[in-house]
């Protein structure tokens, strides 16, 4: 199990680092720190340290100027637990333990289990790096899984409004081969319209920038631009089925190679870029 330190709000929201057993992480404003928060002028150059021995997660203040707060108390040294929060300067962090929570579920019926196996095989067959675009509004479990995973993820929303909508935002996550997140998303979310998958050889920042441009669209007969909820597979598969070549080209751009999503019966639908084979 790994421990994850994540910035909660503001300019560095969702910035995170993972500690393996025996590891430690020093947080501060200068490049001497392992985890740098350069814009926070109330944070000391070396402010606090988080260490993880595989059983206990300890937070230690590094003689900072403004103190380190752990779960609302000023500490020199204290033990953090899953979902403990830390305040240093004007920045708030959260501690998450990888895979800390589980959701009891009944066994899938044979047809549902078969569909999930098909989806698993289809995703594993992709040669290009895999991302998931998840709809945070569908189930609070989605954010739990993201927080408890080492995979890099970002909301498509930004700024103060983005922070306020964090519980219902669409989240882009780069699915790494070393985490269990993709398996959990399939097991708990496939067939429940949690989101869609996509492939791209570009880094997360580039994919996110492209997807952000697609979140607002102009609709015939409407005076205001509308949110395009393409993170919902029911919306995306309908759009792709009805769209023309130009619209599909705009959807994929030069960034995306393919979308994979669940069909009405849980089958796998794969849509590729118009210029791709």
59, 73 contact by CB (below 8 A): no
* Beta-bridge partner residues of 260: 197, 270
Overall CATH class of domain 3-97: mainly beta
pLDDT value of position 85: 97
CA gap 67, 250 in Å, rounded: 49
pLDDT value of position 238: 94
pLDDT value of position 55: 95
pLDDT value of position 217: 60
**Sequence-separated (6 or more) residues with CB below 8 Å from residue 214:** 228, 230, 250, 251
Mean pLDDT, 10 residues at a time, the chain of 277 residues:
91 90 97 96 97 97 97 97 97 95 87 95 95 95 94 86 76 88 94 97 96 76 71 95 91 96 96 75
**Residue-range domain boundaries for the chain:** 3-97, 110-272
76, 60 contact by CB (below 8 A): yes
pLDDT value of position 221: 54
Total-model pTM: 0.87
pLDDT value of position 127: 93
pLDDT value of position 185: 96
pLDDT value of position 140: 93
Kindly state the DSSP code that residue 250 receives in the 8-state scheme: H
């Amino acid at each position: 199990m790994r421990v994850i330190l994540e910035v909660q709000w503001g300019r560095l929201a969702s910035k995170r680092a993972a500690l393996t057993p025996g590891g430690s992480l020093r947080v501060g404003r200068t490049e001497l720190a392992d985890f740098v928060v350069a814009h926070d002028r109330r944070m000391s150059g070396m402010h606090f340290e988080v260490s993880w021995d595989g059983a206990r997660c300890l937070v230690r203040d590094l003689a900072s100027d403004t103190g380190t707060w752990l779960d609302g108390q000023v500490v020199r040294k204290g033990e953090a637990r899953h979902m403990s929060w830390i305040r240093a300067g004007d920045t708030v962090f959260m501690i998450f333990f990888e895979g800390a929570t589980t959701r009891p579920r009944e066994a899938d019926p044979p047809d549902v289990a078969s569909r999930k196996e098909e989806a698993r095989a289809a995703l594993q067959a992709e040669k290009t790096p895999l991302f998931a675009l998840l709809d945070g509004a569908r189930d609070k479990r989605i954010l739990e899984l993201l927080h408890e995973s080492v995979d890099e993820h970002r909301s498509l929303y930004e700024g103060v409004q983005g922070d306020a909508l964090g519980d219902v935002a669409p989240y882009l996550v780069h699915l790494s081969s070393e985490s269990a997140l993709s398996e959990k998303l399939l097991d708990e979310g496939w067939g429940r319209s949690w989101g869609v998958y996509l492939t791209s050889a570009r880094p997360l920042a580039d994919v996110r920038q492209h997807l952000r441009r697609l979140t607002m669209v102009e609709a015939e007969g409407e005076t205001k631009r509308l949110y395009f909820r393409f993170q919902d597979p029911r919306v995306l598969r309908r759009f792709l089925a009805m769209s023309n070549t130009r619209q599909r080209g705009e959807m994929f751009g030069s960034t995306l190679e393919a979308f994979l999503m669940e069909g009405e019966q849980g089958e796998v639908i794969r849509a590729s870029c118009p210029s791709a084979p």
